[in-house]
Amino acid sequence: MSSSSAPAKTVLEPRILSRSEHGISRNDISDNALKVLYRLHNAGFNAYLVGGCVRDLLLGLKPKDFDVVTNAEPEQVKELFRNCRLVGRRFRLAHVMFGREVIEVATFRGHHQSDQDLGKQSDHGQILRDNVFGDIFEDAERRDFTVNAMYYNIADFSISDFANGIGAIEQRKISLIGDPETRYREDPVRMLRAVRFAAKLNMQIDDAAAAPIKTLAPLLTNIPPARLFEEVLKLFLSGNALQIFRLLRQYHLVEPLFPILAPLLNDSNSREISFIEQVMQNTDERINNEQRVTPAFIYAALLWYPLEDRCQNLMVEGGFSQFDAFNLAMGDVLDRQTKRIMIPKRFTTVMREIWQLQNRLPRRFGRRAFQLLDHPRFRAAYDFLLVRAEIEGGELEILADWWTQFQSASPEQRKTMLDKLRDTEKAPTRRKRRYKPKKAPK
């Protein structure tokens, strides 16, 4: 499609590195990606690997996935592959399925006018629809960072580097293609991507790309909450969550993502920060050891202190019992958070369980200890308690140690532990409700 009427176009000239001038070998590329590239090529289309996989291969990292671009349109791609689905509204793409591996095949994107139906922009300059096809030059210009605009050509195994991505890799710089402010306005999620790549690739966001972030961070509130859930998940499950959390704070990106958490992070020595950093560090360790991580745990941690605050507030100002205040506060905190980030119900359910178990873990008398051990969320709740204990010490530490011992104790030892509890602590009587619930304060 022609792009002669497109706004402010600067054609990027690629530097071509021939097969002998770069270190990417076909052995490093997934067989399925190669199959897709060859079939497109043999059908007479141009076919390239692009983006993160080329960047990662040049850095000696293992790519997470292999993305293909071509001049074939999605319908033409579909005709070539039986195992192909067309997906996406914002970007129409072909997915070629090989069991668990999906090779994403995109058609070169082009420029578009803001009033065209195929491409659409919001009042903030955000791109809402992006289905104008173009050539490789336009496609390169529309990519986010210079390290992400390198194309590996299956026709001759050369690399086309459109924005000096090779130079950026050498200097370890995350640089935006084009004018940073315009590019962030087009898609505010690029601010999160900058932070993610800086952490993942161990690079610096260059001054030009870093400067506008603090000012433009609020634009993230225009991103649909479901997309933000996906993007934020990539941040926290990247294996670099601790560093990313620090960068999010540094660039004022916490506020638009977690508005009820941000006010609690002003003091850099606070327990709130220590707690979240500890959780992020544990998450990174688990990811790097290929252990399972649930987003519910991470979100439960991010919102734990806002939950405690809200609960206190409802007790002190609303006159609610601890039990009622806690339940109301869980609802409030989740309502406010999911307006920004759409946490799916299957995770909010688990978050509530982890939180509620924090109140139940101190109450171990009689059969309760065994019921708690059998609770499907016991392990997560116990891990959560461990981090709280590490940060706050005191009674929580004693409680956490008790549970650590109890889990590995023999039946006799467990009985002794429970007997001892009965001796040293008075069994709690059922708490009577002293106050009638009033309306929650605003």
Q: Which of 65, 135, 309, 383 is catalytic?
A: 65
Q: Pick between residue 142 and residue 377 the one whose CB is nearest to Mg ion.
A: 142
Alpha helices by DSSP H, listed for 213-267, are 213-216, 225-236, 241-250, 254-257
Nearer to ligand ATP, 190 or 388 (CB): 190
Q: Rule CB under 6 A: which residues touch ligand ATP?
A: 51-52, 64-65, 67, 143-144, 148, 187, 189-190
Minimum Å gap between C-beta 128 and ligand ATP is 13
Q: Residue 332 binds which entry of Mg ion, ligand ATP, none, with Cβ cut-offs from 5 to 8 Å by kind?
A: none
Token match 């109890």: residue?
406
**153 beta partners:** 48
Pairing of strands 84-87, 47-50: unpaired
The residue among 145 and 299 lying less far from Mg ion, judged by its C-beta, is: 145
- Nearest distance from C-beta of residue 338 to Mg ion, angstroms: 27
The reply to whether 335 belongs to the active site is no
Distance, in Å, from the CA atom of 131 to the CA atom of 214, rounded to the nearest integer, reads: 30
Closest distance between ligand ATP and the C-beta of residue 201, in Å?
Answer: 9
**Minimum Å distance from CB 292 to ligand ATP?**
20
Instruction: Give the integer Cα–Cα distance in Å for 390 and 282.
Output: 12
Nearest Cα neighbor of 327 from 403, 440, 181 is 440
Q: Are strands 84-87 and 67-70 parallel, antiparallel or unpaired?
A: unpaired
For the question of residue 65 being annotated catalytic, the response is yes
Nearer to ligand ATP, 196 or 377 (CB): 196
Candidates 68, 99, 88, 177; CA nearest to 131 is 88
- Three-class DSSP category at 81: coil
Question: Which partner, ligand ATP, Mg ion, none, binds residue 143 by CB below 5 to 8 Å per kind?
Answer: ligand ATP
Q: What is the length of the chain?
A: 442
What residue 240 binds from Mg ion, ligand ATP, none (CB within 5 to 8 A, per partner kind)?
none
| Binding partner of 334, given Mg ion, ligand ATP, none, CB within 5-8 angstroms per partner class | none
Q: Which residue's Cβ lies closest to ligand ATP?
A: 52
Interface residues with Mg ion (CB under 5 A)? 52, 65
Rounded CA-CA distance 49/153 in Å is 7
Please identify, using beta-carbon distances, which residue of 33 and 381 lies nearer to Mg ion. Answer: 33
Residue 214 CB, shortest distance to ligand ATP, in Å, is 19
**Smallest distance from the beta carbon of 51 to Mg ion, in angstroms?**
6
* Closest to Mg ion by CB, 12 or 33: 33
Residue 190: which of Mg ion, ligand ATP, none does it interact with, CB under 5 to 8 A by kind? ligand ATP
Q: Of the listed 139, 144, 187, 332, which one is catalytic?
A: 144
Q: How many CB atoms lie within 10 A of CB 367?
A: 9
Radius of gyration of the chain (CA): 26
Which residue, 52 or 212, is less far from Mg ion as judged by CB? 52
Dihedral Cα 375, 379, 382, 387, nearest 10 deg: -150
Q: In the complex with ligand ATP, which residue's Cβ is closer, 94 or 189?
A: 189
Partners of 130 in beta bridges: 119
Binding partner of residue 148 among Mg ion, ligand ATP, none, CB cut-off 5 to 8 Å per kind: ligand ATP
Cβ atoms of 67 and 131 closer than 8 Å: no
* Nearest distance, CB of residue 378 and ligand ATP, angstroms: 34
**Closest separation in Å from C-beta 62 to ligand ATP:** 10
DSSP string for 122-152: -TTS-EEEE--B--HHHHHHTSSBGGG-EEE
198, two tokens: 């800086």
| C-alpha dist (Å) from residue 285 to 146, 280, 385 | 30, 9, 18
- C-alpha 346: how far from its chain's center? 17
CA pair distance 116, 269, nearest whole angstrom: 51
Catalytic residue among 56, 67, 130, 324: 67
What are the catalytic residues? 65, 67, 144
